[in-house]
Structure 1
Amino acid sequence: MEKIRTLLDRFVQAFSCLLFVIMVVVATWQVVSRYVFNSPSTISEAFLRLSLVWLSMMAIAYVAGRREHVSLTLLTGNLSGAWKRFFDIFIELLFIAFAGFVMIYGGAQATSNTMAQVYPMLNVPKGIIYLSLPVSGAIIVVYCLMNCFKLYSDCQYYTRRQVS
């Protein structure tokens, strides 16, 4: 399980870092072309908009995998032991439900509905933007399932330790 998490972490990190570096280069080119050559690039702004959506969605997936997302700490902050683990697993299951229904299902619908439309500046299908939803949603589901298994196995470990 840890090997899968490590591979997924490295993939998301590498993709996000590479995309961020490309965005910095493209934004720098946008500034140089506008102020030095007095001929602004029209493609760069559209590319940055598309890239920012992808970068944001991948970052959301990574943060969900690390369990550093915003969660219901008002309830779980004062709990300990089995109740805390129960609510932690419940929150992960809520994330799975959200990612499954809204991001994967809804994102797949939005992607398929907009693949025929062309993003005029880049001359690519608009569905490419919406494709970030099901991709990041699938990554979130995988991460959350791994988090649930880890929380459950930790709970089993502590329960066995307390009994013996």
Structure 2
Amino acid sequence: MDRLRRGLDLILGGLCCGLLVVLVAVLVWQVVSRYALNAPSSVTEEILRYGVIWMSLLGAAYATGRGAHMSVDMLRDRLPARGRLRLDALVAVAFVAFAGIVLIWGGMKGVTIAARQTSAVMRIPMSWVYLSLPVSGVLMIAYSLLNLADLARGRPHHADTLEQAEMLGE
């Protein structure tokens, strides 16, 4: 399980980092072409828009795996250790339900609807953009199942436990 998580983290983290580098380069080109060359590129805006969509959803899946998603810890901090494990399991199950219903099922409906549309400038199929929803949903479910497996072994997978382990050199 740990090997699978590390592999997913490596691939997804690398993909997000690579996408960020590409988006920064495209943004620099957009600024240079607009202000220095006085000939704005029409393609850059679409690349940036769709790139940010993909990066946000892939980043959300990565955050799910790291236990770094947004949360309100007020209740969690007041619970005993057993209650925290149960709450963490409930959160992981909620992620599976959300990812399955909203991202995968709803996302596939979006992909189907968008299959007949193309983007205005680059003329790429809009289904490629909407595909980010089910892809991130599958990744979120995979990470949530890994998180549930860790919880079943009594090893919560939270950002704070990761940071503590890194500080201790584990």
TM-score calculated relative to the size of structure 1: 0.91
Q: Distance in 1 between matches of 2:9 and 2:91?
A: 21
| Cα deviations by residue, 1:52-75 (Å, 9 ceiling, x for unpaired) | 000100111111111111235232
State the Cα distance separating 1:122 from its structure 2 match. Answer: 1.2
Give the conservation status (yes or no) of the 8 Å contact 1:71–1:91. no
1:94-109 map, 5 Å: 94-109=94-109
- Mean Cα displacement is larger for which, 5-14 or 73-82? 73-82
State the Cα distance separating 1:80 from its structure 2 match. Answer: 1.6
State the Cα distance separating 1:51 from its structure 2 match. Answer: 0.2
1:48-67 map, 5 Å: 48-67=48-67
Structure 2: give runs of 5+ residues left out of the alignment.
156-170
Runs of 4+ with deviation above 2 angstroms: 71-75
1:1-164 map, 5 Å: 1-154=1-154
| Cα deviations by residue, 1:27-83 (Å, 9 ceiling, x for unpaired) | 111111111111000000111000000010011111111111123523222112222
Q: Distance in 1 between matches of 2:48 and 2:91?
A: 33
Paired AA for residue 109 in structure 1: K
1:160 alignment partner in structure 2? none
Percent identity over the alignment is 36
| Cα deviations by residue, 1:109-153 (Å, 9 ceiling, x for unpaired) | 101110110112111011111111100111000000000010111
Q: Distance in 2 between matches of 1:150 and 1:72?
A: 21
Aligned length: 155
| Cα deviations by residue, 1:65-113 (Å, 9 ceiling, x for unpaired) | 1111123523222112222211110111001100110001100110111
Q: Secondary structure at the match of 1:71?
A: coil
Q: Distance in 2 between matches of 1:101 and 1:72?
A: 23
Q: Pairwise CA RMSD of aligned residues?
A: 1.1
Q: Distance in 1 between matches of 2:24 and 2:61?
A: 22
